[in-house]
Structure 1
């Protein structure tokens, strides 16, 4: 290994070591939010210790049509059951982040040598490589990506980046093979890169489908001299391969996004969203500009994981920043296309960024804002700045490129590059330290997101866990006054007052009012009501007895936003049965459980409800509920195409539910016999 090569690899080693140091304080943080929605599948059907449990686990994903099985598979590196220790998960995420930084360095190095003449002087080539390393270092140490790297579940954003970078490197290798007169090898590398890696990236998360489009975003910015290196027949063969492997797949994705936009505007979207798809499309330019602000004006602390405070645009003039943001995004994209030959690195960074955002920030009705959506799109973001700091021109000035830079300018730019890296590392270290302290993190996020109900609830829960319910009450009262239909605020205020022992009728009525008007809350109602019902037996809050809990549940049942949905009706009837069971009214509980099952016939619901009846001491009622399920079983809906369908096939192939139901039935029959046998 030559000395310059050794030096640059040693420099990357120092960057990697610096990344480990700045992230180390955050490795001891806890799981957060969506971690608890996704990771428990590790133990949902038992510890993943054999092939049957392995296949049940890997096919259990439902976030995308394909279920993100590679992301699920990667979690097995860290645990085989749930609950689990978060440290191994965060450690693996950090290792993956560093590997992505390494691949990014190699990609930018290859792009730099492709853009610039092959016959530049060795010092010029060294500056290209230095620029690539500097750009990769700025990305690796940027504080914005702490909320991806230390948020365990966002490995689902990191793995597609790994496969996208690998695919782009293989695409470059294929392009070089075409230029060298080896079209067969060129096609092979393109197939592996643009087809194989796209498949792997997509099996990690759906935005992996963008890999061919990202390759095209770079391709259109390459200077003419990069194309002139291909002889006419090589150029024709390369264009044909790229048309088949990149242009057509990218066009299919574009058509799909247009269809999603048309369908969402014409037919509407899920009622769980507080905005229409048209409003989302007007809002996203504002969101993208805010992302760019966070990327180019980094700061140690940001709003983090909370996005429910984002105000959707209701017209091009409300908020007033809507139209300017839309025009700014359009100007950036058009400008990049017009200047792509003169400023290829700048154009590539801009086009790559917006193509990378095209799935999650356009016509699919996802939430409006998440910081982790920048992880992949921002890969090329700092490359133009690094080229300038390394005295690498982006234009044809080959003679100027071969000259040594002015020593004074070189020292100044080198110093600036060092300051940038140190500044980014310091901010990332500060932010990672916050991620290692869940209590302080919750309080700061609430301070940075005063209009976010989720942030205020998260902080209030942290205060209650620390034994300061009075602080939680002080926080939640004004928040609920601003948003009286937010059930999460109302229910947590109720819990805080219970902890203080002074639950008053006004708080109960506020909670009931919120439940009558709230939007779909997902699993919040079931989890809260189950805890509340269980706690009535312990009497930590005498005012919140079963009668009070039932009044709150009846308020939720009066909310058409909830009862219009079969799944949510099932939850509410299930909770009525749960209350009846707590009152030792098994006949009523069975009636409610049967009614809940009728809303959506699901074996999981039948099994859970029968198990509850059995564990409460009513095996005969549990058997009757299983019989009710058997009578309705033909009405059970089959999953749609995709991973849910495969998961259902795996369960059927293993006869999983037949075995579980038979085991439960045998247990219930034995319990019933014991109940009916004469006392000894």
Structure 2
């Protein structure tokens, strides 16, 4: 009885220490919930204000554009915040933080399992798990994933990945030698992989990570707890791994297909898949460095000015040979010290979708949310290894955790101070148009004059000669200048923008200025810029060949030309452009305008023709099809009811 009581007290103390760590971590990170929204947040979450019933909730959930499948599970998690955007950003960020805390618990459990595989027992395994989960949970590299509202997608996907790995390890140890276990373990893995992928496409990497776990966990017969027949055990293992290998090959072959021509420079990005791959080899080292060496001013949402690193750049050569040396060293000692190879491969696998050749933006810290766990495990294992040689590590680890904790808390405080953080990020990122835009928005919210905002963008344009977006923002604000503003300077801005648009990299921001000017001109709010100036901008957009190759952008350009032609009284040109926009991209706003145009003109034949054309564009993706059907029926219902 006394022995049982002692064990119970021991477990209770362990639980209390874990809860204390979670409570302190929560308190340190909590100031971050007073942060704000950034560029992608508004695009993805603004439709929340249109959600007011079950039907509109379905439209929001299944019409996402953040990835190929729309990430409906992540969007569904935002439904509880419907109707309050942007005032309820604090609630959104708080829920992000709570999900992160759940992930810390999952990381603790996962680390405990890994600790068993490493031969840690009792207190040693417990402290190993505590150290991994605390360092990972407080690491500033994960901060943007938690406190950028839309990056709940990364945090939620991470939840299903971590939970899926834990369940998979449990099922492997429970049914390792059973043929039935193949079905049970792989079925569970597919369920969690689906949930993770519906949260964010990179969640599909749960399968490669599970294959890594399979090899690491069952490297030899010592890890088989329930096997009695060695031949059966190995045949079951072979079948299970064969299925996993097929799934992994499918994932990476599909990714290679999406990557396109490795040597062709993509107009939308300005670099090729090969250029991106060489750049990522350098960035992956930077991620590792900033995972462990905190710099409060480094972690932010504005890395859009990151430069491409080419194959002949010295930084790439150094990073390539460094990675090769690490892999070779890890391979040589893989039998004696498997954790080194496991951690490095874990890190690379978790980065293999967003940090390789797929034509995404170059740099985002939130891509480390899952990947950083691999190198944190290696770091803590190394400290424990040193502890066998010197007791100094017992002092080092708590001191290091205190440094990480202090840095994370200061980072949370910085992000909660909107104006200070915006100014710092603007000053430190001269090539980031987004940082300049964020700073201007914050100043505007605090009552700054239009002249001050124009000054911000003019300064950004001066610091970055190639930045066209900041020049466009200055020109857009010229609509609201005082009568005393220098009109000559406005014309200079216009000429600079018109001159740079044809060679600018395609982006939605490139279309923002003409759209804003059309809105302002239609409302009679823009006295500084005339309709002829808008026409110059439209012509410049049409000359941007790379922009017009992207269907969504080309459709938007023709849609703007339709509006411009209507303002100019040229209805023939207006009809031509709206039909061209629809031909390129059959989006509902364009479809609705065309239906309205033909319905009001009494052209029933054209109305029927448009309905038929739109029906043929029904998406293949079953998730997106739900929202598509609702919007299609809604628009058609308006005209059938004579509205």
TM-score, normalized by length of structure 2?
0.88
1:366 matches 2:360: yes
Distance 1:597 1:242, change over 3 A: closer
Distance 1:583 1:82, change over 3 A: farther
1:31 matches 2:33: no
Helix, strand or coil at the partner of 2:305: coil
| Structure 2 counterpart of 1:476 | 457
Give deviations 1:257-293, integer Å, cap 9, x for gaps. 44445x4226x47521110112112211011111111
Q: Which whole-Å CA distance do the structure 2 matches of 1:627 and 1:150 have between them?
A: 52
Q: Which of 3, 14, 18 is 2:9 aligned to?
A: 3
**How many angstroms does 1:228 deviate by?**
6.8
| Structure 2 counterpart of 1:351 | 345
Give deviations 1:307-335, integer Å, cap 9, x for gaps. 32222233x21x32112112222222332
Further displaced range: 135-144 or 160-169? 160-169
Distance 1:630 1:479, change over 3 A: farther
**How many angstroms does 1:538 deviate by?**
6.0
Q: Which whole-Å CA distance do the structure 1 matches of 2:96 and 2:529 have between them?
A: 43
| Structure 2 counterpart of 1:256 | 254
Q: Which whole-Å CA distance do the structure 2 matches of 1:556 and 1:195 have between them?
A: 45
Contact preservation (8 Å) 2:383, 2:397? yes
**How many angstroms does 1:343 deviate by?**
2.3
| Structure 2 counterpart of 1:458 | 438
**How many angstroms does 1:105 deviate by?**
0.5
Contact preservation (8 Å) 2:276, 2:362? yes
Q: Which of 538, 560, 563 is 1:578 aligned to?
A: 563
Q: Which of 83, 87, 96 is 2:99 aligned to?
A: 96
**How many angstroms does 1:596 deviate by?**
3.6
Q: Which whole-Å CA distance do the structure 2 matches of 1:439 and 1:147 have between them?
A: 17
TM-score, normalized by length of structure 1?
0.83
Contact preservation (8 Å) 1:221, 1:341? no
Q: Which whole-Å CA distance do the structure 1 matches of 2:338 and 2:21 have between them?
A: 27
Contact preservation (8 Å) 1:576, 1:592? yes
| Structure 1 counterpart of 2:416 | 436
Gaps of 5+ in 2: 1-6
Gaps of 5+ in 1: 118-123, 394-404, 614-619, 669-680
| Structure 2 counterpart of 1:397 | none
| Structure 2 counterpart of 1:281 | 277
After TM superposition, the structure 1 = structure 2 runs for residues 15-414 of structure 1, keeping only pairs within 5 Å, are 15-43=21-49, 46-50=50-54, 52-79=55-82, 85-116=88-119, 124-178=121-175, 183=178, 186-187=181-182, 189-221=184-216, 224=220, 226-227=222-223, 232-233=230-231, 235-261=233-259, 263-265=260-262, 268=264, 270-302=266-298, 304-314=300-310, 316-317=311-312, 319-390=313-384, 410=391, 412-414=392-394
Distance 1:508 1:127, change over 3 A: same
**How many angstroms does 1:207 deviate by?**
1.5
Q: Which whole-Å CA distance do the structure 1 matches of 2:25 and 2:603 have between them?
A: 56
Contact preservation (8 Å) 1:610, 1:623? no
Q: Which whole-Å CA distance do the structure 2 matches of 1:492 and 1:544 have between them?
A: 14
After TM superposition, the structure 1 = structure 2 runs for residues 583-622 of structure 1, keeping only pairs within 5 Å, are 589-590=574-575, 592-608=577-593, 622=600
**How many angstroms does 1:623 deviate by?**
4.2
Helix, strand or coil at the partner of 1:271: coil
**How many angstroms does 1:636 deviate by?**
4.4
Give deviations 1:578-606, integer Å, cap 9, x for gaps. 23444677676555434543444444313
Q: Which whole-Å CA distance do the structure 1 matches of 2:642 and 2:393 have between them?
A: 75
Distance 1:510 1:665, change over 3 A: farther
Helix, strand or coil at the partner of 1:458: helix
Give deviations 1:552-598, integer Å, cap 9, x for gaps. 22322333333344443332232233234446776765554345434
State the superposition RMSD in angstroms: 3.2
Q: Which whole-Å CA distance do the structure 1 matches of 2:617 and 2:401 have between them?
A: 49
Distance 1:493 1:627, change over 3 A: farther
**How many angstroms does 1:369 deviate by?**
1.4
